[in-house]
Amino acid sequence: MKSKRGIYYSFFFLLSVLASCGTSSRKVVYFQSKEDRQGQIVNLPSYRIENTVRFRPDDILGITVNVPGEQSVASDYNLPLVPAATSENSTEDFVSQGMGRQAFLISKDGTIDFPVLGIIKVAGYTQGELEKYLKERLSTKLVVPAIVTVRLMNFKITVTGEVGRPGTITVDKDNINILEALALAGDMSIYGKRDDIRLFRQKPDGGYTEVSLDISKEDIISSPYFFLQQNDALYVKPVNTRTQNADVSPHWNILVGIGAFVMSVATFVIMLAKD
């Protein structure tokens, strides 16, 4: 008798534990590996260099030219702090924000109209490449080497779905990876699918490339999509239980839970009574 009761108690306890563990921990852990690497140092390959942001049409570039000791000369190669109303390649909004740079809108053909230098093609360049190119062009006109700074001023990404703070994020540097983007969006909720985050990347023709990313595996770092591009959109899909419960009243879920618990207790009592 006592042995049977012990089995019943153990069985009931096990059911209670399983009921309280609705989600497997492996489904919410990031960067899982096939082997235990606790305490180890592991080098993982990355596409950081290959995936450097390159400028595209409709990007807004902040470009400033400084000539040490020759500020009057440098002013010839910078837009005025308050752009003229007729300027088609500058935006007063960005200048008025105190960014310290003049703003150039890249045209559909990938060019900007730069002071003195005229029309130059900038689409396809990285930040470092364009700075080097402008310095070379200016070296033919200036005696003192110029200091050129270039920044992408409208680097934005969008994160939606099962995250703490969905919305559009402005990136203030020249690169960002998916983990940083999720952190800025308040991280994924417990209901977000770690193994199927959707990335939408705009193509030159206006369409989008859709990619499924699995950040529950450590090899996501080696993905060419781990580092994001301007105007990328991330959608964190909800787990199946989340979608199934979307149309169910919270009160109904509570009642179902209470009912299941009562039935478990009743079954347990009946089993004891039979002994």
Mean pLDDT by 10 residues, the chain (275 residues): 53 49 57 69 69 90 89 82 46 41 88 95 95 95 91 94 96 90 95 94 90 91 91 93 54 63 66 64
Residue 231, C-beta contacts closer than 8 angstroms, at least 6 positions apart: 156, 157, 201, 202
Give the contacts of 226 (CB within 8 A, at least 6 positions apart).
46, 47, 51, 177, 178, 213, 220
DSSP letter at 274 equals H
**pLDDT score of 176:** 93
- As a whole number of Å, the end-to-end CA separation of the chain is 7
Structure tokens at 231: 């105007």
Helices (H), the chain: 2-20, 71-74, 92-96, 127-139, 178-184, 240-244, 250-274
3-class SS of residue 143 = coil
pTM higher than the cut 0.75: no
3-state secondary structure of 220: helix
Supply the angle between the helices 2-20 and 250-274 in degrees, to the nearest 10: 170
Task: Go through 56-88 and write b for each residue having 16 or more CB atoms within 10 A of its CB, e for each that does not.
Answer: beebbbbbbbebeeeeeebeebbbeeebeeebe
Q: Are 229 and 201 in contact (CB under 8 A)?
A: yes
Q: State how far Cα 211 lies from the chain centre.
A: 13
Distance CA 167, CA 158 (A): 6
| Beta bridge mates, 13 | none
Distances (CA, A) of 6 to 12, 19, 125, 212: 10, 20, 73, 48
Q: Rounded to an integer, what distance in angstroms lies between the CA atom of residue 197 and that of residue 208?
A: 15
Question: Residue 106's CB: how many other CB atoms inside 10 A?
Answer: 20
Q: What is the pLDDT of residue 43?
A: 72
Task: Please give the C-alpha separations between residue 200 and each of 191, 223, 225, in angstroms, as whole numbers.
Answer: 21, 15, 10
What pLDDT does residue 102 have? 75
The per-residue pLDDT for 52 is: 82
Contact present, 163 and 212 (Cβ < 8 Å): no
pLDDT number for residue 79? 79
Query: Taking Cα atoms as reference points, which of 7, 5, 22 lies closest to residue 260?
Result: 22
